[in-house]
Chains A and B, each alone.
Chain A
Amino acid sequence: MSGAPRHRCCGEFTRSELARRSLAEAGRGLPSIEPGMPAPAGTGLNRRSFMLRSGALALSVYGASLLKPQAFVEGIAKAAESQGKVLVSVFLEGGIDGLSILSPVADDKYRQLRPQLRMAPGAGPAWSEDSRLQWHPSAAPLHQLHGEGKVTVFPSIGYPSADQSHFTSRHYWEVGELSARTNTGWLGRLLDVVGSDENPLQGLSLDGSLAPSLATGRVPVAATWGPSYDLWAPGVWGDVEDLMFEAFRRLGVNAEKSRDAHLSGAGRVVRQAETLRQQLRAFSDEITSPVTYPDTGHFPESLAGLAAMLDAGLPITVASVGAPGSYDTHDEQAEDFRNYLAETCDGLLAFQRDLEARGLDDRVITLAWSEFGRRPEENGSAGTDHGAGGNAFLIGSGARGQMVGEWPGLNVLDEDDNLRSTADFRAVYCSLIEQWFGVDADAVIPGASGLARPVLIG
């Protein structure tokens, strides 16, 4: 929805504060960072992440004169050692029209249901796994990666008795079960099993608010706007700034102990914010990417930042980024759909190439998903209403690259005239948890034992 420019926070102030701070600290004779110096002991951060940063801030990490090293350092060290697997969740908001990503262009029923919105035969490349279907031209990057065996396609994914409310259906996908009451996300519960008590970065939302799928019951997680995080206090620097953040953290810890739920929650977030600030102050948001990303704003910037953060050894296990645009295309669908899908797929291709160039592609896999597909029959406004079975894609060098489920066809629809689903998202989650992270899905997904385990990896 928001097409407006997004300001970066107070860059000028930060820069002038930095200049002041580095003068003040340099006056006290703190060491400066030179190439070749070892990384700060115990942080687990590799040298590269420190060299990315301008001198002044890195100084304050070295020279934290008044405060003991924080516990987060352990969390970083532990996670960085493992160089573990990473899952990136890309949400295509609004319910994407699967029939326009992979279209049965020669199907009579399709032509009849989609008089205005149908894709022309030959407009995009055919899909090698099912010759009835043809890629949307904007999805060409997916076609390319699929040809390299790096995309597992779910041609009609959903769940039994699909709910056509955005919010209910999205909620199910976020929490990983068909329950309106669950208030932890499936990735959050995964982190509760494999995560650390001190590392908010392990679950990172890059869109400026926490993705519900990352909501944990126990361990900390983080939200940032893109790959940076800082808190700027005007007229506070040096020792006083260090002490201020220590006090901020203590205010958080105190409140967290309260029995008052909202106060305790506020305290927890304050503590996490201070830990995150310490984790990311040593990482520069001036990213240098080995590949060129599209210049379409927040989505490619976030993916580029994420790749750089992983390359710098930051301890991220799951990350969430929203795809650009909204796919809730009730009217005049064609143009918005074309543009948003192109931005999304171009960004995902650049991300994959970036990971490959950095040698990280065997560690990172991306799941692109939406809350449902759309009604096969277009509505009277050159748009489509809410449907059921939709598309999802698992992208990465580790993906098996063979479709899961099949395209169900248009001749037999469900009781609401929507596409029947041929894969269950909960089964996909179980497979990812087990095949990618090596964790027993029973500990994360309710009813896991009754769900299938499609082969996704390898």
Chain B
Amino acid sequence: MSVPVYRGRFGASQAERLLWRAGFGPAPGEAEKLSRKGMRRAVLSLTRPKGKAKLHGPAPHDEDGLPLAPRDAWGHDLLWWLDRMVRSNQPLTERMALVWHDWFATADVGQVALNLKQNELFRARGLGSFENLLLAVTKDPAMLVWLSGNQNEAGAPNENYARELMELFTLGASNGYTEDDVREQARALTGWTNDWDDDLGMINFRYEPDRHDDGRKRIFGKTGNFDWEDSCRLCLEHPAHAGYLIERLWSYFVPVPAPKRTLAALKKGYRRDRSIRRVVEAILMHPSLYEGPRMVKPPIVQIAGMLRARRNGIATDSWTWIADQAGQRLFQPPNVAGWDEQRWLDTARISGRWTAAAYNTRDDEEDTDTYDEKETASEAVRKALRFWGNPSISDKTRAELQRFAGRVEAAATADWQQGTYRALRQNALRILIVMSPELQTS
């Protein structure tokens, strides 16, 4: 039993989809270039990048031209990460960090340095073993604060982490555990603490055996003197875990459920070594990714993608509130369950995406006084598509853009309107293209 592999054509438009699903969309020419590798080598180039990531393009700065201060300045945490999404030559590493940021959703714990440290963990271990990742997250300082692990001590258990460890991180809601398991897991997880320093804040996160409840616990029907590592491993060995992990990981890349046999094969493979990389490779090579339906781009992916397509760097603080308006303020997931991927789009989110598009076009506004008074509708549409690096669009969408371009020409009756309306038309086309339902999806 093996996982099916896509055998169809792998041209620029398939590579474009891969880059949106596994990264942040193509820079101009990137999809074409990737397609020449063939599907298999293209996927491996993403999942097994060589060496350290390099950042290409203009260095990020804030509104005043100053370097970013992610630990200190409000909103710069997001700018810092968005910059990596835009400029990194290892996009899947960033995309996997985004997956884990959603999976182990931790909001600002009041000390941004801790959240940034957790983010580095997702980047460093995002394609490794899920077991290592889970153990590292369980004792990660930001997580210890976020889900009260540092408050959880013998004699005074706090259920916060225990519940989400099973419900959200490894098994799924009510998927083979009881309320008693929650309470016993909380006992097993006791022992973590930290100090407070008036200047430095929370420091010195550590495990203290004295704070650990070393009595016997009964978890999933097994009895023992379990500690925090046992607690994690019991979840990983739970029969429901592999299915939960595979189905959830799959859902980040493909919008329809995995075929049953694929699921079974992926589960079997995963149980061998809990390798995230192998699961992700199988998903990225699966026919469902290339032949299946389109998928809404997460807001931050859409925003990073527009910047990449324009080869624009981070040059304004505004991306933070715009990403918030669009529905994905990094480092501020709405709650511990992360973002709701089923509800990326509503009227408010669309207005955030629209604002993001406006901020990506405003510096290139066409001049009404000097604009070509003779430009045809087709020329206008081609020019606007070129502006975004020639994304693939359907004939139907192209026809609608063309219709709009023609209507503007018909409305330009006075002499003064000829150049002016064509300039406005170009500005409008750029927004329409990137805001079309088609380009909200990949």
Which A residues are CB-close (under 8 A) to B403? 247, 250
Q: How far, in whole Å, are A250 and B148 apart by their CA atoms in the complex?
A: 50
| A331 in contact with B148 (CB, 8 Å) | yes
| A380 in contact with B441 (CB, 8 Å) | no
In this assembly, does A41 line the interface, its C-beta being within 8 Å of a C-beta of chain B? no
Question: How many residues of A are counted as interface, with CB atoms below 8 angstroms from the partner's CB atoms?
Answer: 76
- Among the listed A164, A241, A383, which residue makes an inter-chain contact with B158, where contact means beta carbons less than 8 Å apart? A383
In this complex, the member of B397, B401, B428 whose beta carbon has the largest number of chain A beta carbons within 10 angstroms is B428
In this assembly, does A270 line the interface, its C-beta being within 8 Å of a C-beta of chain B? yes
In this assembly, does B440 line the interface, its C-beta being within 8 Å of a C-beta of chain A? yes
In this assembly, does B332 line the interface, its C-beta being within 8 Å of a C-beta of chain A? yes
Which A residues are CB-close (under 8 A) to B379? none
Which B residues are CB-close (under 8 A) to A5? 74
Which B residues are CB-close (under 8 A) to A164? 163, 179, 182
A260-B294 contact given A243-B407, A244-B428, CB 8 Å threshold: yes
Interface residues of A in 212-235 (CB under 8 A from B): 212, 215, 221-225, 229-235
Q: How far, in whole Å, are A243 and B438 apart by their CA atoms in the complex?
A: 19
- Can you list, as one digit per residue, whether each of B15-58 has a CB less than 8 Å from chain A (1) or not (0)? 00000000000000000000000000000000000000000000
Q: How far, in whole Å, are A200 and B347 apart by their CA atoms in the complex?
A: 9
- Can you list, as one digit per residue, whether each of B152-190 has a CB less than 8 Å from chain A (1) or not (0)? 110111111001000100000110000100100000000
| A269 in contact with B148 (CB, 8 Å) | no
Instruction: Give the Cβ gap from B168 to chain A, nearest Cβ, in Å.
Output: 8
- Among the listed B151, B294, B425, which residue makes an inter-chain contact with A240, where contact means beta carbons less than 8 Å apart? B425
| B411 in contact with A243 (CB, 8 Å) | yes
Which A residues are CB-close (under 8 A) to B329? 2
| B347 in contact with A276 (CB, 8 Å) | yes
In this complex, the member of B355, B361, B431, B437 whose beta carbon has the largest number of chain A beta carbons within 10 angstroms is B437
In this assembly, does A288 line the interface, its C-beta being within 8 Å of a C-beta of chain B? no
| B158 in contact with A247 (CB, 8 Å) | no
- Can you list, as one digit per residue, whether each of B251-295 has a CB less than 8 Å from chain A (1) or not (0)? 000010000000000000000000000000000000000000111
Q: How far, in whole Å, are A81 and B249 apart by their CA atoms in the complex?
A: 50
| A232 in contact with B355 (CB, 8 Å) | yes
A273-B347 contact given A10-B355, A240-B421, A262-B255, CB 8 Å threshold: yes
Which B residues are CB-close (under 8 A) to A230? 351
Which A residues are CB-close (under 8 A) to B173? 163, 165, 167-168, 180
Q: How far, in whole Å, are A168 and B168 apart by their CA atoms in the complex?
A: 11
Smallest Cβ-Cβ distance to A166: which chain B residue: B335
Of the A-B pairs whose beta carbons lie under 8 Å apart in the complex, a sample of 25, sorted by A's number, is A1-B332, A2-B324, A9-B355, A205-B346, A208-B349, A210-B343, A221-B346, A233-B354, A236-B427, A240-B424, A250-B403, A251-B432, A251-B435, A252-B437, A262-B296, A263-B293, A265-B345, A266-B441, A270-B435, A276-B347, A330-B148, A331-B148, A379-B158, A380-B158, A385-B159
Which 9 A-B pairs rank lowest in CB-CB distance, beginning with the nearest?
Answer: A380-B156, A255-B437, A223-B348, A266-B437, A235-B427, A247-B404, A235-B365, A381-B151, A240-B424
Which of B's residues lie within 8 Å of A, judged by CB? Answer: 74-75, 107-108, 148, 151-153, 155-160, 163, 167, 173-174, 179, 182, 255, 293-296, 318, 321, 324-325, 327, 329, 332, 334-337, 342-343, 345-352, 354-355, 358, 361-362, 365-366, 368, 396-397, 400-401, 403-404, 407-408, 411, 421, 423-425, 427-428, 431-432, 435-438, 440-441
